[in-house]
Amino acid sequence: MVADVLRRVGELPLPEMAADWPERRWDRFAAGQEHQFAGAALLYTDWHPGNFVVGEGRSWLVDWSWPTRGAAFISPALLIVELVSAGHAPGAAEELVRDSPAWTEASTDAVDAFAVAHARMCRTAAARRPEQTWLAAVADAAACWARHRARG
């Protein structure tokens, strides 16, 4: 069901109003690689169990409070971090998204750069709000995934 909802998110067209929604939150953490995060895909950036609705044979995502435009691989990449945070090994989490066109068409260099930038961003957010233990958990998961990517 998770792979199916990821595929369906990847098929959603970018709304006309989204032309001015470029995603920039990772730019300052990207060490000059932020150009690899640009794109024209509609991104879902709030993957967590509370945002899945599961019905008979189908699932949906709710809470599109931060829809943005960027490289299509970012949605599956963020799902990977959520899966790692939930206890999946990074390689196993990547396997769950492997059939997503957004993932299979992504540049390895872009995904690697994103993993590092996202880990840096998450660690900064967790340090700013240490009372939010879930931020530390996500930062740990993002760092785990970035190390996995670095090992190849």
Determine contact, residues 103/79, Cβ cutoff 8 Å: no
Cα gap 68→79, rounded to integer Å: 15
Domain 2-151 has CATH 3.90.1200: yes
Instruction: Between 21 and 125, name the one with better pLDDT.
Output: 125
pLDDT at 52: 80
Instruction: Between 128 and 54, name the one with better pLDDT.
Output: 128
pLDDT at 125: 96
List C-alpha distances in Å: 106 to 36, 100, 117, 130: 10, 10, 16, 34
In 3-state terms, what secondary structure has residue 52?
strand
pLDDT at 21: 78
Task: Give per-residue pLDDT as tens, 20-53.
Answer: 777 788 999 999 999 999 998 988 888 888 888 8
Q: To the nearest 5 percent, what fractions of the chain are helix, strand and coil?
A: 60, 10, 30
Instruction: Between 108 and 66, name the one with better pLDDT.
Output: 108
Check pLDDT > 80 for residue 18.
no
Q: Which residues contact 23 (CB under 8 A, 6 or more apart)?
A: 37, 43, 45, 68, 69, 70, 74
pTM: 0.89
pLDDT at 147: 98
Q: Is the dihedral of CA 125, 130, 134, 140 positive or negative?
A: positive
For tokens 């959520």, name the residue.
82
* C-alpha closest to that of 45 among 72, 84, 19: 72
pLDDT at 146: 98
Read off the pLDDT of each residue in 99-123 and give the average, rounded to a whole number: 96
The domain locations on the chain are 2-151
pLDDT at 88: 97
Read off the pLDDT of each residue in 71-88 and give the average, rounded to a whole number: 95
56, amino acid identity: E
Read off the pLDDT of each residue in 86-95 and give the average, rounded to a whole number: 96
Hey, how many other C-beta atoms are within 10 angstroms of the C-beta on 16? 6
